[in-house]
């Protein structure tokens, strides 16, 4: 998985950094989904514990 995007220099030099890799896009969306699911599960578990008490 690449973190950055590069373009090849037309003058034959080293590659030029041109931005963040868009391959990471799905991982940021996955991170959002993980936070949501973890919070929902944690909330459900703690509210059940409160109900029992």
Q: Does 16 bind another protein (CB under 8 A)?
A: yes
Measured from the CB of residue 12, what is the shortest distance to another protein in angstroms?
Answer: 15
Q: How many residues bind another protein (CB under 8 A)?
A: 20
21 Cβ contact list (under 8 Å, min separation 6): 1, 2, 3, 4, 5
The three-state secondary structure class of 10 is coil
Rounded to an integer, what distance in angstroms lies between the CA atom of residue 44 and that of residue 35? 14
Chosen residue from 1, 10, 12, 19 binding another protein by CB under 8 A: 19
User: Given the complex with another protein, which of 1 and 16 has the nearer CB atom?
Assistant: 16
């Amino acid at each position: 998985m690449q973190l950055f995007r590069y373009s090849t220099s037309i003058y034959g030099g080293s590659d030029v950094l041109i931005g963040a890799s868009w391959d990471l896009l799905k991982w940021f969306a996955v991170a959002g989904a993980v936070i949501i699911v973890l919070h929902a599960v944690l909330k459900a578990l703690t509210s059940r514990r409160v109900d029992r008490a």
